[in-house]
Structure formats: C-alpha cells, structure tokens
Amino acid sequence: MNSVPESTELFQTIPIPELEVGNILVNLGLVLEISQENEEVSIVIERMGERQVWRFNKKENLTIKRQL
C-alpha cells in the first residue's frame, strides 16, 4: 500500500448540535440534510452514490473533515 495517511489536523470532533449541511463526516460522507427530534438527530448523507439516513443521539460527538 503506497498511500500517506491524512494529517489529524484535517479532522475535527464536534458535538452533533454544531453539525452543518455541507460538513463531511469522516468515514460516512457529505451531510445533505439534518433533522432534529427529541433526543435524536437524523442525518442524510451522500455515500457511495446513494442518499443514506443515519441516526445519532444528540449528546454524541462526530468527527468531520475540516473545511480548508
């Protein structure tokens, strides 16, 4: 394998309430939509050419790729 891992400076861990449309979730994809409910957040992402819905507890943190 001849690849160089990306620097950890390119990543940022944030609380879910700070997540915005357009962020890129590490290992998942581009955030297209965010819907908040009582204790849960539904996030629509573009992954592998499909729109997928992922659900998370509002108290969790997610790792995003920093916008340069």
Per-residue pLDDT tens over the stretch 15-58: 999 999 999 999 999 999 999 988 999 999 999 999 999 999 99
The pLDDT score that the predictor gives to residue 34 is 97
- Residue 43: how many other CB atoms lie within 10 Å: 23
State the architecture of 9-65 in CATH terms: Roll (2.30)
- List the alpha helices (DSSP H) in 17-60: none
